[in-house]
Structure 1
Amino acid sequence: MSVHFSCTMCGRCCHDLHLPLSVDEALDWIARGGDVQLYCDAIVWPQEPPESDALAQHRRRRSFAAHSGALSVRVAVTLVAAFKGPCPHLGANMACGAYDQRPRVCRIYPAEVNPFVPFDPSGKLCPPDAWSSNQPPLMRAGQLVTPEIDALIAQSRDADQRDRLTKAYLCTLLGYDTAALANEGYAIYAPQRTRVQAALQAAQQAAAQIDDPEPRSPHPWHLITNRAATLSTLRSLSAVAHAPEGVPRSQQTPTYLGFLANDTDGRD
């Protein structure tokens, strides 16, 4: 089956977004007056998976090693441009005011960067006429037919891997040490703009001085979950784990975004 697509400039995909950014893109976004948040999640990593485990290897390439208590984990930190309403660069005519500098994720849309997320036009925000058969082909037999988008996806994945050390340093500089469990939610940090800009620049400069193909966090991590069974399991594995309500409150306390219903009943 073929999928055809062309942007209709409806502006729907430019509202109420959480855009994942590379480190370079995050610095560009901040320089243009935007705010950047950190979405942190972690996966339990008791041993190295086989090379044939494609999903685990994908997760490995975009995360750094860490520990929570006695439990080995890998932490993925996603830099996110988050905004409510229209994108700050969206014009009244629905044209992008930062078109030449827009993030890769905007250039790739509606295709998927994550190879394990099935492409589903019905889940996209674009109107029906964007998918009409008279539009240029986007996919054939499940494969992209646009070399430009293929190249952008490859660049995005390369940046994910390249940025891991910078992100590990960034969390250390900012004092961030809490992550949600992968597939259950995110721990979200929303630092002040100039603070995260300075920390990003310092972390990027520090990472550039070190050739470390396997970055590791220098500090322990806390895990948060709103699922009672998950909390019990993590603690049985000697992890430092809390329900969202039990995370020690400070200026560094993240917001918890859960994908599942909370059944911890406020217990920690």
Structure 2
Amino acid sequence: MDMDFDCTMCGKCCHNLRLPLTVSEAIAWLKRGHDVQLFVEALPWPEEPPEDNLVAAHKRRRSFAATSGSLPVRVVVVIVAAFDGPCPNLQEDMRCGAYESRPLVCRIYPAEINPFISMDPAQKACPPEAWTGASSPLLRQGQIVDAQIAALVTESRNTDAADVWAKAALCTTLGIGSAALSNEGFVVHTPDRSSLLSALESAQMVKTATASSWQFVSNRSETANALDSVDAVVSRTSAWEAEGATFLGFFPDDVSGSGTH
């Protein structure tokens, strides 16, 4: 696949986002007085997959080990800058007011960071004319041709893996222990800025973690029943409440039953 890209400075990619941040970027974002949330999902991990399972290896690299009841799981925490409307750094002329210190994901856009997601202009906010400038090649035969962007993608993946222990410590410090089942949604945690900043600053030097206990949250009866059957701890959204947390599901609610099992 060959693809060209020229930014039109339309500003569409700078509105209404939950923008993934590294731990250090999240600290800087909070210090500027902006909002940060934690999007959390978990994957059942009853045994280690084969070494040649590259998708599993990618998921393992960016997650930490935990348990839910008697079920081994891996927890993925995505720290995001949260804003509705324009990015707080977006200026009236559609230029970035924090261009030199903008997050990695902004520097990489519109390229993909996940190696298992193919870039699709239809899934991007950019207008059609952004993809017609042959003077700015982005992909050739499916590979990023801009050496700087390619290096930033590698940096982003490595930082994502390096931040895992800090994220585990962050959750422990903040008492966070609820996650959605991977690919079905997220539990979105919104700690107050001061507590989150303090916890992030304490967690950023952590390099190891002990397995913690987690609960799944689901809005789907089939999922909740399946997790019950393997002795995981699961709460149905119909009976679940957690201070500073909401459930963001990818599927319509169809839960029945109540309580945590």
Fold similarity call, TM over 0.5: yes
Instruction: Determine the C-alpha separation between the residues in 2 that align with 1:63 and 1:126.
Output: 31
Any residues of structure 2 matched to 1:104-253 within 5 Å, and which? 104-205=104-205, 207=206, 210=207, 212=208, 215-217=209-211, 219-247=212-240, 249-251=241-243
**Is the Cα–Cα contact under 8 Å of residues 6 and 133 in structure 2 kept in the other structure?**
no
Which one-letter code corresponds to 2:243 in the other structure? Q
**Percent identity for Structure 1 against Structure 2:** 49
Q: 2:20, 2:78 within 8 Å by CA — same for their partners in 1?
A: yes
C-alpha distance in 1 between matches for 2:202 and 2:56: 30
Q: Give how far 1:133 is off.
A: 3.6
Structure-2 change in CA distance of 1:250 and 1:126 (3 Å): closer
1:100-155: CA deviation from partner (whole Å, max 9, x where unpaired)? 01001011111100111111011111111111143400001111101111111111
The Cα shift of 1:170 comes to 0.4
Q: Distance in 1 between matches of 2:27 and 2:214?
A: 25
RMSD between aligned alpha carbons? 1.3
Checking the alignment, whether the CA contact within 8 Å between 2:27 and 2:197 is kept in structure 1 is yes
Aligned partner of residue 165 in structure 1, secondary structure: helix
Q: Aligned with 1:75: secondary structure?
A: strand
| Partner of residue 258 from structure 1, selected from 235, 239, 249 | 249
Q: Secondary structure in 2 aligned to 1:113? A: coil
CA contact (8 A) 2:238 2:255 kept: no
State the shift of 1:223 in Å. Answer: 0.4
AA aligned to 1:4 is D
Could you tell which deviates more after superposition, 28-37 or 167-176?
28-37
Aligned to 2:86: 86
1:50-75 Cα deviation digits (max 9, x unpaired): 11001100000000000000000000
- Distance (Å, rounded) in 2 between the aligned partners of 1:266 and 1:35: 35
TM-score for the superposition, normalised by structure 1: 0.93
8 A contact 2:41–2:179 mirrored in 1 = yes
> In structure 2, how many angstroms separate the alpha carbons of the residues matched to 1:33 and 1:240?
36
CA distance in 2, matches of 1:105, 1:239: 34
CA gap 1:98/1:73 in 2 versus in 1, 3 angstroms: same
Aligned to 2:102: 102
Corresponding residue number in structure 1 for 2:22: 22
The answer as to whether partners of 1:44 and 1:72 remain within 8 angstroms in 2 is: yes
Residue 265 of structure 1, CA deviation: 4.3
Instruction: For residue 139 of structure 1, give the secondary structure of its aligned residue in structure 2.
Output: strand
Q: CA deviation at 1:203?
A: 1.2
- Amino acid of the structure 1 residue aligned with 2:236: A
